[in-house]
């Protein structure tokens, strides 16, 4: 059984995961309108993955006797000044999500909820991967500089980073 404090914290994270999906969806739409096919495909896939993270948490809350809540979401920006700005925003967002997950893990230890603590370890590992991926992409963009042909090649190459996530919505 989840304590009220844990349930509230998990529901806050559900909202963060849902908003993450929306942020990446907005990035995908922007990239698509700018002609960045690879980036848009990458962001659409990333949006789907974040939604799966949200669903996994919703199911966990409900299975543990809590009640997962669906809340209103903050609208993400619809314009991004540049290719680099999109990935800088992605990186900063992943750092924010990592901090939120870490705060949640801390609450589970304070509450001595070791089942939820164990469940969240998957998210901790996932965030390490997400931050590393975003940092790696930013490094590549910085290498490209302002080279238009480099952007073309990068847009084509990023398709290789698209992974089809296994069914993460099921526990």
Q: In terms of pTM, does the model score above 0.85?
A: yes
Q: Looking at the domain assignment, is residue 13 inside a domain?
A: yes
According to the annotation, is 129 in a ligand binding site?
A: no
Q: Looking at the domain assignment, is residue 90 inside a domain?
A: yes
According to the annotation, is 121 in a ligand binding site?
A: no
According to the annotation, is 53 in a ligand binding site?
A: yes
Q: Residue 29 is inside which H or E element, if any? A: helix 4-33
Distance CA 118, CA 103 (A): 14
171 residues of the chain, pLDDT tens digit each? 899 999 999 999 999 999 999 999 999 999 999 999 999 999 999 999 999 999 999 999 999 999 999 999 999 999 998 888 999 999 999 999 999 999 999 999 999 999 999 999 999 999 999 999 999 999 999 999 888 788 888 988 898 887 654 444 444
Q: Looking at the domain assignment, is residue 167 inside a domain?
A: no
Q: Looking at the domain assignment, is residue 170 inside a domain?
A: no
Q: What is the CATH number of the domain that holds 11?
A: 1.20.1260.10
112: left (phi > 0), else alpha (psi -120 to 50), else beta? left
What range defines the domain where residue 149 resides?
4-69+79-161
According to the annotation, is 130 in a ligand binding site?
A: no
Q: Looking at the domain assignment, is residue 168 inside a domain?
A: no
According to the annotation, is 50 in a ligand binding site?
A: yes
Q: How far apart are the first and last CA of the chain?
A: 17
Q: How many domains does the chain have?
A: 1
């Amino acid at each position: 059984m989840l304590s009220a404090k844990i349930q509230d914290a998990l529901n806050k994270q559900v909202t963060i995961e849902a908003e993450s999906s929306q942020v990446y969806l907005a990035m995908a739409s922007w990239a698509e309108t700018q002609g960045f096919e690879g980036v848009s495909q990458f962001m659409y896939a990333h949006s789907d993955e974040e939604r799966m993270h949200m669903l996994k948490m919703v199911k966990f809350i409900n299975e543990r006797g809590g009640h997962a809540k669906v809340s209103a979401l903050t609208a993400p920006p619809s314009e991004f000044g540049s290719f680099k700005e999109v990935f800088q925003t992605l990186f900063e967002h992943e750092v924010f999500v990592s901090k939120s997950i870490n705060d949640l893990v801390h609450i589970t230890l304070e509450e001595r909820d070791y089942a939820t603590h164990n469940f969240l370890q998957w998210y901790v590992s996932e965030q390490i991967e997400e931050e590393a991926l975003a940092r790696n992409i930013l490094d590549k963009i910085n290498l490209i500089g302002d080279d238009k042909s480099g952007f073309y090649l990068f847009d084509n190459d990023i398709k290789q980073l698209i992974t089809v996530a296994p069914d993460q919505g099921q526990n």
